[in-house]
Structure 1
């Protein structure tokens, strides 16, 4: 089993627990699976059809599209902001959904996980992200979920890569994503 999984982190904060969770994913990936953290979501302008033309897209958006197109699958890490996903993640989905019907997300296997302060670990944000990804044409992996509650206290003194639940669960989740990447779209639908 081998796969290149592109990780998009919905928090831009340097000390983000979701970024740390993505780092843990990269460190705990099974043999043959590579998790690459995408750097540069903060540079991608808000989606606007006036700047996304046949002549091209802004450089930061074009880089994001190229990285997603080259990956075998995507894994989104989302905190929960006011009951939904952060704007930076929604904006990435919007750019990756274009051009309509042929964007970098088309039939691409994608899973959404994350951690949040609340007792449910950001499930609302994850649900909203899955919905947007499905509408955008991605092959959203049902049942490949991981919501880690209590991030502020849980990771105050511990990196997610040292958390027993994460060490046990993340490699199995990454293996599911890699298996979906290897399978034809019809087989996992």
Structure 2
């Protein structure tokens, strides 16, 4: 992907114009300078898969996204800090016609119950599987350390990640590059 330029325009009354690429699409918006990135994603872009669970304290991981290739908690960033960034939310993983292996793993291995934590879990897993083809259980647990689930007890989540890792490992390099393009 081509890097996008930062908007670099401050508008009066505490507003700033920012430009980001989210799930492959450019978005340019005027936002309050104190708006959290999670609120920008949910309210301005209507991408509600990114959840807010801990009252924006960075404790639960439900708001995890991929920003410039790294998993980050979007409740701990201002939208203006993301100006010029490439962002992927859970909506960018797969489609209804073709699930991403991570989504397929959570489906096949029952890695969710209520589903509230699932988007953040999936984005943390995306970050892991992008760089680690055959993660150990300890590596999976380390990747998910900032994501809380109050329903499943994590065993099914770990099985879902192992399933996804096996699916990714069986892909060609071109297929892997396509699904891990962020």
Q: TM-score, normalised by structure 2?
A: 0.29
Q: Which has the higher helix share?
A: 1
Select the structure with the greater relative contact order (CA < 8 A; seq sep ≥ 6). 1
The normalised TM-score by structure 1 is: 0.28
Bigger-Rg structure (1/2): 2
